[in-house]
Amino acid sequence: MHPIEHARTRPNHPAVIMAGSGASMTFGEMEAGSNRFAHLLRARGFKPDDAFAVLLENRIEYFTLIWGSQRAGTMLVPISTRLTAPEIAYILKDSEAKLLITSHYFDEVLPGVRAECPEIPILMMDGNGEEDFAAALAAQPVDPIADQSAGLVMLYSSGTTGRPKGIRPKPPEDPDPAAPVALVALAQMGAGMPGDGSMVYLSPAPLYHAAPIGWCSTVHRLGGTVVMMEKFDPEAALAAIEKYRVTDSQWVPTHFVRFLRLPEEIRNKHDLSSHKRAIHAAAPCPIPVKQAMIEWWGPIIIEYYAGSEGIGMTMVHSPDWLTHKGTVGRAIYGKLHICGPEGEELPAEQDGLIYFENDILPSYHKDPGKTAEAMHHEGWMTLGDIGHVDAEGFLYLTDRKSHMIISGGVNIYPQEIENLLVTHAKVMDAAVIGAPDPDLGEKVVAVVQPVDMAAVAGDGGAAFEQELRDFLAPQLARIKMPRLFDFRAELPREANGKLYKRELRDEYAAKAKEQA
């Protein structure tokens, strides 16, 4: 299954609809634009495996680039929309991108990018002259290029613990653009997505991230329609499900928290009866949050655990989750191994580093050290998460290895504390980090985004801190209780759900250095 086939048999079926504006693109139009873009790449000297970068907000042309690259055999490098000019320039240089496609949405950072990468040509959406993407595309033929081959996507890690690293996938065994891909099989057999073209899939997250670009591409292979939100808003998402009769959707836990913070009348305002499958991932979901979502939406929620590296996947449907609360499921791709600090395999119920055994493993671009660090001596690979399996093979996540706090010689996993904090009715978001401490080595700091920032002004902050301490005390060991609460209007979180804890840790490390 491939959009090429759907364009031939159902050219007028909508492939993409923008949820806010209603702008749409049919499979026939997407096919024509993709062919033109493949010709554009060839005209600019691109050969298979050559890289180009995309720095775009969620807009409909993104799919022209995705599927054009999938015909030209090139390497598409999506760039996060929240990065600074030096960070963008680093990815352009590291990936050896020969072209940047962007828009005026990024006018604030583009001068810096141009200054650091003057040799990289740029094509602009709504551009002018030689940089006008639309004009360059329109000048190309609409027929397929003669040497079509499957392209690749090189994702960069979010850089939560340092410089982002490119995850270079292995080339496909079959270069045919229409050759089967693993995610399509996982979507159908694992999640139950239909292949008859009836699917309407809501994508609320930024398209540059692994899950949206992967699942949206899968929906197109299955002949479904992608309804893409320009930007996530909880009420707008509910309205989109009703308006477009959405059958399938993709979320992260922070979306669920924001849904549950909506007033009851808003939550019950929209008809969600078309909604059959709600998939979520990206971070562990607090048990009370997921329980509340299942009670509201019904047993349609499907959770999976995977990573941009594509080394394996677990999945769990609501009925199994309700009898194994907190699990992220059993392995449906790759084989799980839980290992101790010396690489020894651990028994059920014991926490250790999670590895996947798989025949197809990627490497970190230009970083053999990081690749080696992620590898087990048996040839398995880890995403850096800590967890355990139960006797039935269900996986439970504890936290990221890199997020662990060592306070007074005790290992503390922030995820447990964060999961408790976000269940408090007055908390919108929370991040728990370790900050330097002269006595303990690290102290536990909770950075909290209140639902109402005005309520923590003045003496309100002290009162709310005590309220949170009283809330946590019966559920949390004393050693894990935050030594400091820091209230902020917003946390440095990606729209895809990833929290930039590095920024918070760096900030507290700098403060400690100043005070030393």
Q: Is residue 122 part of a domain?
A: yes
Rounded mean pLDDT of 50-63? 97
CB neighbours of residue 391 within 10 Å: 8
Q: How many Cβ atoms from other residues are within 10 Å of residue 405's Cβ?
A: 22
235 located within any domain: no
- Residue 298: pLDDT band (50, 70, 90) is very high
Round the average pLDDT of the chain to a whole number and report it. Answer: 93
Residue with tokens 């499900």: 241
Q: Give pLDDT, residue 111.
A: 97
Which residues, including other chains, have CB under 8 Å from residue 171's CB and lie 6 or more apart? 49, 152
Amino acid (1-letter code) at residue 219: V
Residue 499: closest CA among 414, 440, 435: 414
Q: State the pLDDT confidence band at 109, using cuts at 50, 70 and 90.
A: very high
Confidence band (pLDDT; 50, 70, 90) for 496?
low
Q: What is the CATH classification number for the domain harbouring 137?
A: 3.40.50.12780
Which one of 149, 178, 207 terminates a domain? 178
The pLDDT value recorded for residue 241 is 98
Residue 25 contacts residue 63 (beta carbons within 8 Å): yes
Domain-located, residue 486 = yes
Q: CB–CB of 240/251 below 8 Å?
A: no
Q: Taking residues 97-102, what's their average pLDDT?
A: 98
- The C-alpha atoms of residue 278 and residue 130 are separated, in whole angstroms, by 43
Contacts of 251 (CB under 8 A, 6+ apart): 204, 278, 279, 280
**pLDDT at res. 162:** 61
pLDDT of residue 180: 80
Query: How is 197-209 classified by DSSP, letter by letter?
Result: S--EEEE-S-TTS
> Mind listing the pLDDT tens digit for each residue in 400-445?
888 889 888 888 989 899 999 999 999 999 999 999 988 888 999 9
Burial label, 258 (beta-carbon count in 10 A; 0-12, 13-18, 19+): middle
Please determine, for residue 159, whether its predicted confidence score (pLDDT) is greater than 60: no
* The pLDDT of residue 410: 85
Q: Given a cut of 80, is residue 389 above it in pLDDT?
A: yes
Question: What would the pLDDT profile of 122-152 be if each residue is shown by its tens digit?
Answer: 999 999 999 999 999 999 999 999 999 999 9
Burial state string for 91-115 with b = 16 or more CB within 10 A and e = fewer than 16: bbebbebbbbbbbebbeebbeebee
Alpha-carbon span 69 to 8, nearest angstrom? 19
Q: How far is the C-alpha of 429 from the C-alpha of 494, rounded, in Å? A: 13
For residue 242, tell me if it sits in a domain.
Answer: no
Rounded to whole angstroms, the Cα distance separating 435 from 444 reads 7
Q: Is residue 275 part of a domain?
A: no
Residue at which a domain ends, from 154, 178, 202: 178
Tokens for 326, please give them. Answer: 């907190």
pLDDT at residue 24 greater than cutoff 90: yes
| pLDDT of 236 | 98
pLDDT of residue 493: 83
Give the mean model confidence (pLDDT) for residues 319-327.
97
Report, as an integer, the average pLDDT of 227-246. 97
Domain range for residue 103? 23-178
- Contacts with 447 (C-beta within 8 Å, 6 or more apart), sequence order: 430, 431, 432, 433, 486, 488, 491, 504
Greatest C-alpha distance within the chain: 70
Angle at which helix 210-221 crosses helix 62-72, to 10 degrees, equals: 70
Q: Rounded to 5 degrees, what are φ and ψ at 41? A: -60, -45
Least Cα distance to 334 among 382, 282, 293 occurs for 382
Question: Among 32-46, 95-109, 187-201, 498-512, whose mean pLDDT is lowest?
Answer: 498-512
pLDDT above 90 as % of the chain? 77
With a pLDDT cut of 70, the percent of the chain lying above it is: 98
| Residue 67 lies inside a defined structural domain of this protein | yes
Last residue of a domain, one of 132, 150, 178: 178
* 454 class by beta-carbon count within 10 Å (0-12 exposed, 13-18 middle, 19+ buried): exposed
Does a structural domain hold residue 260? no
Alpha-carbon distance of 183 to 177, in angstroms, equals: 14
- Please report, for the domain that includes residue 450, its CATH number: 3.30.300.30
Contact (CB, 8 A) for 381 and 374? yes
Number of structural domains found in the chain: 2
Q: Report if residue 195 sits inside a domain.
A: no
Q: Residues 6 or more apart from 493 whose CB is under 8 A from it?
A: 254, 429, 431, 499, 500
Question: Are the C-beta atoms of 375 and 395 separated by less than 8 Å?
Answer: no
Question: How far is Cα 388 from Cα 385, in angstroms, rounded to an integer?
Answer: 10
Identify each DSSP E strand in 256-341 by its residue range: 277-280, 301-305, 313-317, 327-333, 335-339
